[in-house]
Amino acid sequence: MYFQALFLFSLVIISSSQAAVLDFCVGDLSLPDGPGGYACKKPSKVTADDFVFSGLAATGKIIPLIKAAVTPAFAPQFPGVNGLGISMARLDLAISGVIPMHTHPGASEVLYVVQGEICAGFISSSDNKVFFKTLKQGDIMVFPQGLLHFQINSGKTSALAIISFSSPTPGLQITDFALFANDLPTELVAATTFLDAALIKKLKGVLGGTN
Amino acid sequence: MYFQALFLFSLVIISSSQAAVLDFCVGDLSLPDGPGGYACKKPSKVTADDFVFSGLAATGKIIPLIKAAVTPAFAPQFPGVNGLGISMARLDLAISGVIPMHTHPGASEVLYVVQGEICAGFISSSDNKVFFKTLKQGDIMVFPQGLLHFQINSGKTSALAIISFSSPTPGLQITDFALFANDLPTELVAATTFLDAALIKKLKGVLGGTN
Amino acid sequence: MYFQALFLFSLVIISSSQAAVLDFCVGDLSLPDGPGGYACKKPSKVTADDFVFSGLAATGKIIPLIKAAVTPAFAPQFPGVNGLGISMARLDLAISGVIPMHTHPGASEVLYVVQGEICAGFISSSDNKVFFKTLKQGDIMVFPQGLLHFQINSGKTSALAIISFSSPTPGLQITDFALFANDLPTELVAATTFLDAALIKKLKGVLGGTN
Amino acid sequence: MYFQALFLFSLVIISSSQAAVLDFCVGDLSLPDGPGGYACKKPSKVTADDFVFSGLAATGKIIPLIKAAVTPAFAPQFPGVNGLGISMARLDLAISGVIPMHTHPGASEVLYVVQGEICAGFISSSDNKVFFKTLKQGDIMVFPQGLLHFQINSGKTSALAIISFSSPTPGLQITDFALFANDLPTELVAATTFLDAALIKKLKGVLGGTN
Amino acid sequence: MYFQALFLFSLVIISSSQAAVLDFCVGDLSLPDGPGGYACKKPSKVTADDFVFSGLAATGKIIPLIKAAVTPAFAPQFPGVNGLGISMARLDLAISGVIPMHTHPGASEVLYVVQGEICAGFISSSDNKVFFKTLKQGDIMVFPQGLLHFQINSGKTSALAIISFSSPTPGLQITDFALFANDLPTELVAATTFLDAALIKKLKGVLGGTN
Amino acid sequence: MYFQALFLFSLVIISSSQAAVLDFCVGDLSLPDGPGGYACKKPSKVTADDFVFSGLAATGKIIPLIKAAVTPAFAPQFPGVNGLGISMARLDLAISGVIPMHTHPGASEVLYVVQGEICAGFISSSDNKVFFKTLKQGDIMVFPQGLLHFQINSGKTSALAIISFSSPTPGLQITDFALFANDLPTELVAATTFLDAALIKKLKGVLGGTN
């Protein structure tokens, strides 16, 4: 008798979900996306693997120029976070490593120091006030949305941090790359940054920019 | 002369809407959905019927186990609410009927007692404080988002309630079904609920679970 | 031993909520409000009564002019919905009763016919297309945010409907009252509605407007 | 050596964006839309032209009936604003021109007077209170979401205003057109507006309505 | 000359921020809160310390019953995250430790395994489907908003995880505590959980509940 | 008889709004603010003047260094936009004037060229791609949220633009001021920007920075 009860009850619940599982929306990167994120993978094809990502487990590839690596687990890499208002990334900072001045255009960030010592800070927009502090292992720091901020390995060992964001697609705009690693004409860079053309051309050379 | 004026004016307005009616987005369940809901049915095919739903007019199918029925008018059943931040459902409670402990993961709820007497309550997350009260015909009660709550027919007749939600896809997670009506291994249920294996297996038997 | 365990565990949970219960924010109408709603009543003073409202249980006071009544359970009347994205109201329509053309500036609406027969409809903004239908007992209809809509008792008995909104403060702007029940100068009303001054003055007379 | 550094670093950044540029979502009007707006044009096909719109540069086509023109730059006309929470429009008011009573169902508006003098106002929903003022060149005025408002050329020259909205698809519902420029039966208009049938039929005649 | 230029320019910028720094809103827990969070601490009193929290650096106090600890860095503990849509917490799991079945009513979660091995999973609301997996050091897993989930130390050493949330006040509702650690009458618990009264009273005894 | 009807009807409407007008929330800058904006001015003290701002009518004070001026009408200057998701500002560009590289951390922007010719552009975050174009009078351009952008007077006369934002508090972070007009130590600037210390000190000198 109990079994029959269950059977009937399940019918009600199942009929309410026949078209889609709406608890989540694992991104299907092969379909057109929209302002809110990727279209959803069919629920029948979603497995536990869609919600797990191992790409942050290993040290990222350290870039000599900055002696650091950023490894993202944003929606394009980890489609399980699509639509859920959150994502993660891993920062590896070799000795003297730096994550240069940058912003995340669409998200606030919290950083957790897994290992090492990191000097981190951000700059307020209204009065250019700087907030920075040296963080020890286990400390966390929050960086409000869209503000310029940086992280520097201030210790004597390599450092590792896990950062999380208030968006599955926080974006990452490194100021130097935005200014010098593209074809924005030198005179426009000069006019909008107060830097002189010779320096701009030199930095474009280093960072791969042209014009 | 007036007619010509109208004609010209209409052109302006119509040109602004040639691509889509954007006042609403009746869900087209045959297209891929996204984090914000279903894709929109073509405006030219939308009629008044898309905004009306009669599925709550009749008593839902009462399930013997709980002597109650939940009939949803969420976006999958009633695509007219897609994207509009609202939905409804009907609760039928036979004598002694119960809607067991459950949550709506993505919405707050307001309940209106159409008929009968219902004892309803919810549990706060931070201090496990319980808020419950016996509701008479015409009373309304609000259940904050995501919190465990329940409804019990506390009167001598059957009861009917209309509930509405702050989302077109509020979800419904009945705790007992979530724990016992699936293949989550008994040892994991035991480890995470403090219940013993024998009881879990018994409840899995009643509710159709395995493992 | 178990009791001690509990004691320690509770400390952790309680310390996380010492400043406030954040599951809900029952409105304290005596404090300044903000863009998101009223300030929160102190959690220690919140009881189950804050989440229950009986003001919709009785027939509203029927207004002869429209043979109808609107009884709101918005945040100002029912502070328990503050911040929860939802609210309710009751419509009473005597025989021939009408809820005149109106909008809710900040919310979509779903209507449930508790009793009687109601002809209801709304007008799309982009092409002035009308969507209306006669609703029987138990039918529901959704009205997208901000659009002009109306309800008319189309049956032979009085009618009762429960409506819910996607906001705790949906607002209610009845077009005739907005145009004629205030001191907006007749010439401005005339200029912006295509109605002639004599009619405007007559309607201002009926609805209590001046100027 | 620097070049190699750059090369490696770029790989990291590029791998995070291989699927899509998520800074923006230029609308592709040929694809199905969703509740949050249009689907995104492929990033590889997006150019600077997608973010620029020249349709507001010229005077709109003045409609004799109102001696005014509204030229929208909403997402359907200017797909670059899709998903960005903002849009614009241009108002041209010939001498004695009027933008009749209207609402934007989904957005607040700010108006900037480029040229001329405009009397503008809105009506509060809760108490029908009117807020209006004569604006000079350079003045701005804000109109809260969903409320009835109007603009009248109160000067001796033509007037020009630029308005912006808190949504890429604010909608525009002109009350007279909503009431009289469609097939809503005269008796329903009469019942819901307090206007008599003869006048309604006359206005329907002027504005192109039937029934 | 440059200095004077700066001086004038600064005046413009400063005048725009005289009333408040609006980049962030560090919570002032002594003021009344609202639906969106705590009121803001005066910007002039905000320092870098407000954005840094060291409370997650040390192992939480392990509770014998569950052999685990949850240490939150939500807005009440870490007011720097107020209004920023994000927060963190630390999970310590001794050998055999368990975070019992629970939900976060207002947030999605991402978990990062700092050390050890954790079996974690969640249950979908629509079809009670279970998604669980054993996570190794460095793996991350996402738990969609409001769904029941759990974490179990499945390794041979203690485990440590950092979790982050899509809200500064995600809430934490542990099912067993919600059901058994309060004064909800035994007969109501029984009616809404299918458990028998004797077991409920036993669990209430263990967890500190009454009635 | 009609008058009595009105009287009764008004009572219903007024009772629903006794506590507050919730159509808008004019900011009261003397009260504590919250994450969503300023607390609301008492409705009884709100007048039409609260919704009108004349501060953009005159040319801003041109700063010699950039030959330009930014005049904001954000919530701190124009409290009428508080909570409404929108704001405006005025850009004056003398001949050769420049608004240097900057971001708005919390808003997208649309620019309308009132007069003159402006070269404007922004830089995408994911691939550092530049989108820029020369805008003529009447052209509009949209700048997606949080991305670096600039405006340069590219014509032979002074230029004027009106810009609007998708937030009442968009913020404004000019990169050069953020980097060089504060006390961020020169070695930290150097480490995070690839610029050498001598140049940083020189720019600090020009822009008023120290350390």
Structure tokens at D37: 């707006």
Q: How confident is the model at residue F22 (pLDDT cuts 50, 70, 90)?
A: confident
Contact present, B28 and B41 (Cβ < 8 Å): yes
A134 burial (CB, 10 Å; 0-12 / 13-18 / 19+) is middle
Q: Which of C34, C63, C172 sits opposite F25 (nearest CB)?
A: C34
How does residue A3 score in pLDDT terms, banded at 50, 70 and 90?
very low
| DSSP letter string, E71-87 | EEESTTT-GGGTTTT-E
Q: Do C12 and E105 touch (CB under 8 A)?
A: no
- The answer on D158 and D73 residing in a single domain is yes
Read off the CATH number of the domain in which A118 is found: 2.60.120.10
Q: Please, which chains are in contact with C (at least 3 CB pairs closer than 8 A)?
A: B, D, E, F
Residue F152: list chain A partners with CB under 8 A: 188, 191-192
Residue D135, C-beta contacts closer than 8 angstroms, at least 6 positions apart: D111, D113, D117, D118, D119, D120, D141, F52
Together in a domain, F187 and F158 = no
Six-digit token pair at A106? Answer: 């669409």
What are the binding residues of B for oxalate?
104, 109
From CA B31, how far away is CA B51, in angstroms rounded? 19
pLDDT in tens, F127-142: 999 999 999 999 999 9
Cα E196 from chain centre:
32
Quick check: A75 and D22 CB within 8 A? Answer: yes
Task: Please say if the pLDDT value at position D116 is more than 80.
Answer: yes
Is the CB of F23 less than 8 angstroms away from the CB of D56? no
Give whole-number Cα distances, A10 to A13, B51, B172, in Å: 5, 27, 12
Sign of the alpha-carbon dihedral angle for D156, D160, D166, D171: positive
Cβ(A53)–Cβ(E166) under 8 Å? no
Residues of D in contact with C188 (CB under 8 A): 119, 121, 132, 150, 152
The alpha carbon of residue E26 is apart from the nearest alpha carbon of chain F, in Å, by 9
Residues A118 and A186 in one domain: no
Q: Are residues F184 and F85 in the same domain?
A: no
- Phi first, then psi, for residue C65 (nearest 5°) are -55, -40
Contact: D126, F22; criterion CB under 8 Å? yes
Q: What is the H or E stretch that residue C187 is in?
A: helix C186-193
Q: Are residues B60 and B159 in the same domain?
A: yes
Which residue among A6, A11, A38 sits closest to B65, beta carbon to beta carbon?
A6
Handedness of CA E15, E52, E84, D84 (dihedral sign): positive
Q: How far is E137 from chain B (nearest CA, A)?
A: 21
Contact between D1 and A64 using a beta-carbon 8 Å cutoff:
yes
Residue A148 and residue A108 share a domain: yes
Q: Do F160 and F135 contact (CB within 8 A), yes or no?
A: no
pLDDT band at A148, cuts 50/70/90?
Answer: very high
CB contacts of A69 in chain D (<8 Å) are 12
> A124: pLDDT confidence band, cut at 50, 70 and 90?
very high
Beta strands in F104-148 (DSSP E): 109-115, 118-123, 130-135, 140-143
The span from the CA of D86 to the CA of D163, in Å, is: 11
C-alpha span between A24 and B56 (Å, rounded): 26
Where are the extended beta strands (E) located within B138-200?
A: 140-143, 149-153, 159-165, 173-174
Q: Do C9 and E34 touch (CB under 8 A)?
A: no
A166 and A71 fall within a common domain: yes
* Closest by CA position to F101, among listed F123, F124, F70: F123
How many residues are listed for chain F in this entry? 211
Cβ within 8 Å, pair D140-F53: yes
pLDDT (0 to 100) of residue D19: 42
Establish if F55 belongs to a structural domain: no
Q: How far apart are CA C119 and CA C142, in angstroms?
A: 13
Question: What number is the average pLDDT over the span D29-42?
Answer: 96
Q: D99 Cβ partners below 8 Å, 6+ apart?
A: C192, D66, D68, D70, D91, D93, D150, D151, D152
Please tell me the predicted confidence (pLDDT) of residue F16. Answer: 40
Closest-CA residue to C88 (of B57, B93, B163)? B163
How far apart, in whole angstroms, are the C-alpha atoms of residue D130 and residue C184? 6
Same domain, B148 and B98: yes
Q: How many CB atoms lie within 10 A of CB C1?
A: 8
Chain A residues inside the 8 Å CB shell of B77: 15-16
Chain C environment of D76 (Cβ under 8 Å): none
Range of the domain at C72: 66-171
Give pTM, 2 decimals: 0.93
CA of D143: how far to CAs of C33, F109, F193, in Å? 20, 19, 43
Average pLDDT estimate for F109-133: 96
Cβ within 8 Å of residue D44, ≥6 positions away: none
Residue positions forming the annotated binding site of E for Mn(2+): 102, 104, 109, 149
Q: Which pLDDT tens digit goes with each residue over A27-66? A: 999 999 999 999 999 999 999 999 999 999 999 999 999 9
Q: How far apart are CA D59 and CA D37, in angstroms?
A: 28
Please check the confidence at residue C6 and state whether its pLDDT lies above 70.
Answer: no
Compute, in degrees rounded to 10, the torsion defined by CA atoms D39, D43, D48, D50. Answer: -20
Kindly report, residue by residue over B176-188, the tens digit of the pLDDT.
999 999 999 999 9
Q: Are residues D166 and D71 in the same domain?
A: yes
The C-alpha of B54 sits at a distance from chain C's nearest C-alpha, in angstroms, of 5
Mean pLDDT for A76-96 is 98
List, in order, residues 6 or more apart from B202 with CB less than 8 Å away: none
Residues of B with CB under 8 A from a CB of A: 29, 32-36, 38, 60-61, 63-66, 69-72, 74-77, 105-106, 169, 171-172, 174, 177, 181, 205-208
* pLDDT at residue B58 tops 80: yes
Residue among E98, E125, E150 minimizing CB distance to B171: E125
* F44 within a domain of the structure (yes/no): no
**Pick from A73, B199, B195, B46: which is nearest to C129 by CA?**
B46
- Greater confidence (C36 vs D3) lies with C36
DSSP C166: S
CB-nearest to B112 from C56, C84, C85 is C56
Q: Does residue E5 lie within any of the structural domains? A: no
Q: Report how far apart the first and last C-alpha atoms of chain B are (Å, whole number).
A: 79
Would A72 be classed as within a structural domain? yes
Tell me if A140 and E17 make a contact (CB, 8 A cut-off).
Answer: no
DSSP one-letter string for E122-138? EE-TTT--EEEEEEPTT
- Known binding positions of A: 102, 104, 109, 149
Q: Is the pLDDT confidence value at C45 over 80? A: yes
Distance of CA D194 to the CA centre of its chain: 30
pLDDT of D193 reads 95
Q: Which tokens go with D57?
A: 């540069």
Q: Residue D198's closest CA among D180, D183, D182? A: D180
* Mutant choice from F169, F183, F202, F210 vs E, greatest count of E C-beta within 10 A: F169
Question: Contact at 8 Å (CB) between A130 and A56?
Answer: no
Q: Is residue A3 part of a domain?
A: no
Instruction: Give mean pLDDT, residues F158-176.
Output: 97
Question: Distance of CA B166 to CAs B87, B172, C162, D55, Å?
Answer: 7, 13, 15, 38
Chain D environment of B17 (Cβ under 8 Å) = 76
CA distance C165 to chain B (A): 7
Which string of b and e fits F102-121 if b means at least 16 CB within 10 Å? bbbbbbbbbbbbbbbbbbbb
Of chain A, the percentage scoring pLDDT greater than 70 comes to: 90
CA distance E129 to chain B (A): 6
Neighboring chain F residues of E1 at a CB cutoff of 8 Å: 64
Residue D101 with chain C: CB contacts under 8 Å: 179, 192-193
Q: What is the pLDDT of residue C1?
A: 31
Arithmetic mean of pLDDT, F5-30: 61
pLDDT in the model for residue B16: 40
| F20 inside domain | no
Residues E121 and E103 placed together within one structural domain of the fold: yes
Which chain E residue lies closest to A123 (C-alpha atoms)?
A: E23
Residue numbering of the annotated binding site of E for oxalate = 104, 109
A–F CB contacts, 8 A cutoff, strictly below: 132
Of residues E149 and A20, the one with the higher pLDDT is E149
Choose among F178, F111, F98, F97: nearest CA to F144.
F111
Which site among A3, A10, A22 would you substitute to test the B interface, given the most B Cβ atoms closer than 10 Å to its Cβ? A22
pLDDT of residue C8: 41
**Contact assignment for D25 to A32 by CB distance below 8 Å:** no
For residue range C112-153, what is the model confidence (pLDDT) as tens digits? 999 999 999 999 998 999 999 999 999 999 999 999 999 999
Determine, yes or no, domain membership for F45.
Answer: no
The predicted-structure confidence for D44-90, as pLDDT tens digits, reads as follows 999 999 999 999 999 999 999 999 999 999 999 999 999 999 999 99
Q: How far is F158 from chain A (nearest CA, A)?
A: 17
Which range has the worst mean pLDDT, A5-9, C26-30, C157-161, D82-86? A5-9
- pLDDT, tens digit, for every residue of E133-160? 999 999 999 999 999 999 999 999 999 9
The minimal CB distance from F32 to the residues E12, E15, E28 is found for E28
Binding residue numbers of F: 102, 104, 109, 149
Looking at this predicted complex, what is its ipTM? Answer: 0.91
D39 → closest Cβ in A34, A66, A172: A34
Q: What is the mean pLDDT of chain D?
A: 91
* Contact (CB, 8 A) for B95 and B118: no
Residue numbering of the annotated binding site of F for oxalate = 104, 109
- Element of type H or E holding A14: helix A2-15
- What's the mean pLDDT when you consider all of chain F? 91
Coil/strand/helix, residue D116: coil
Is there a contact between C108 and B84 if contact means CB atoms under 8 Å apart? Answer: yes
Contact D/B (≥3 CB pairs under 8 Å): yes
Tokens (6 digits) for B64: 């013997």
Residues at the binding site of C for Mn(2+) are 102, 104, 109, 149
Domain count, chain E: 2
Backbone angles phi, psi at E153, to 5 degrees: -70, 110
Burial class (CB in 10 A: 0-12, 13-18, 19+), D183: exposed
Q: Does the structure show a pLDDT above 90 at F4?
A: no
Residue C151 lies inside a defined structural domain of this protein = yes
User: Which stretches of chain C sit within 8 Å of chain E by CB?
Assistant: 1-13, 15-20, 22-23, 25, 28, 31, 33-34, 36-40, 82-84
Considering only the beta carbons, identify the residue of A65, A72, A105 that sits closest to D5: A65
Cross-chain Cβ contact B23/D171 below 8 Å? yes
**Residue C13 pLDDT class (50, 70, 90 cuts):** very low
Of D5, D17, D36, the CB nearest to A35: D36
pLDDT of residue F21: 55
CB contact under 8 A, A54 and E147: no
Q: How many percent of chain E have pLDDT more than 90?
A: 88
Our CA dihedral for A151, A154, A160, A166, rounded to 10 degrees, sits at -30
Distance CA C19, CA E75 (A): 9
Same-domain pairing of F136 and F81: yes
E117 and E68 fall within a common domain? yes
Better-predicted residue by pLDDT, B135 or F6: B135
Per-residue pLDDT, A21: 54
